[in-house]
Amino acid sequence: MQANIEKELQTNKFSQMDDTIKAKDRIIAWPRMGRIDIPLKALLLTLGAKVVIPPANSNEVLELGVKNSIEGICLPYKLNLANYIMALENGANTLMMFQAPGSCRLGNYTKMAQKTLKKMGYEFDMVIFDMYKSKMKQTLQAFWHVTRCINPFKYYKAFSLGFNKFFAIDEAEKQMFYYRPRELRKGEAERYYNKWLKIIDGTNTIIGAKSLVKKIRKDFKNIEIDRKKDIPVVYLLGEFFVLLDPYTNQNIEKVLGEMGIEVQRQIMFSGWLEHVLKPSFFYKKESHRERCVRYAKEYMKRAIGGECIETIGDTVYAAKNGIDGVIHLMPFSCMPEIVSQNILSKVSKNEDIPILSLVLDEQTGKTGYVTRVEAFVDLVKRKRVRKEHPQAERIKL
């Protein structure tokens, strides 16, 4: 039996990579998560592929995913499955997804989805590649498999466009997080962000893509802000998908910004991609992952999968660097983040930092969710006032 398993793994390098679909006939899709569609579309179109982009995550998408998922599976899987179904219904015949090591079920998402979709009668090629195993090599092989592109310049242009668009989207988000709680005209930071998403999407040259970050920083400075306003800073931490997808986290970044909180998210698309794909000897400074391992060592000796060690490390780092609070986001039944949640209570006590853990699934109600966030924000603001004015007995917030 072991020999048969090894033979199957050798034949199916990316889980299931058949050649029944010719490269010219492939129509490629992938799950939606935040604005990942913009850079991935640019990358694949540059390599000559045809793509289908599923609709943004919504109640309709979630309903479809819940209907076709097993009970107890986490929210990201349900949305991913619905994304696949919608893409296949819209003509896709090749689905792409990466997998991850450790106890996170992400490593089995695509295999589970693949079986479910086959049972539903869909015919497709599922391309699963492990970005952690051989980094850029696996990624290039997967894109070669679906495009059969052999032009080195096209790969250079595709990955330059894709990566620089990831950097630009992240920069636009960071600027919006900073300006939103300070803006004098409500909604202006978000309007700038949406404007730049369109510009990023429409940029198709390497030079143009590389200049985006500087242009975004310069443009956001045109937003008028209240420079005297006291703004607490809160880190958003937790599982990768719920952090990066506004529908899944119920747009918590906007909710916090409108409550006068500056959000800082340590996990961003571009930083994650650099960590996963770039060889370690290219790092000029300590990577985010390395920093997290260093700060988490008192509470966690090794990574167990998912973003568990990042959650702990970033919380300790936040406490030691004057951050006012931490909000921990996790999907219901996410094993690595359940471990994080249990450790965070000790971190909160030892490091003296307020922490709110929010568990998300399709049953999460908006009203109760916002009420908990409001109470946490009130706690953070009061703690900040006591810290800055220790002699004050009663200060109105």
pTM: 0.87
pLDDT digits (tens, 9 = 90+) for 334-377: 778 888 889 999 999 999 999 999 998 887 777 888 999 999 99
pLDDT digits (tens, 9 = 90+) for 17-50: 556 778 788 999 999 988 999 999 999 999 999 9
**Is there a shared CATH topology between the 13-148 domain and the 231-397 domain?**
yes
Domain borders along the chain are 13-148, 165-179+182-229, 231-397
**Of 1.20.272.10, 3.40.50.11900, 3.40.50.10800, 1.20.1270.10, which CATH number belongs to 231-397?**
3.40.50.11900
Closest CA to 241 of 100, 371, 90: 100
pLDDT digits (tens, 9 = 90+) for 89-145: 999 999 988 766 555 666 677 788 889 999 999 999 988 876 666 567 777 888 888
Is pLDDT of 288 > 50? yes
**Of 3.40.50, 2.10.25, 3.30.70, 2.60.40, which CATH number belongs to 13-148?**
3.40.50
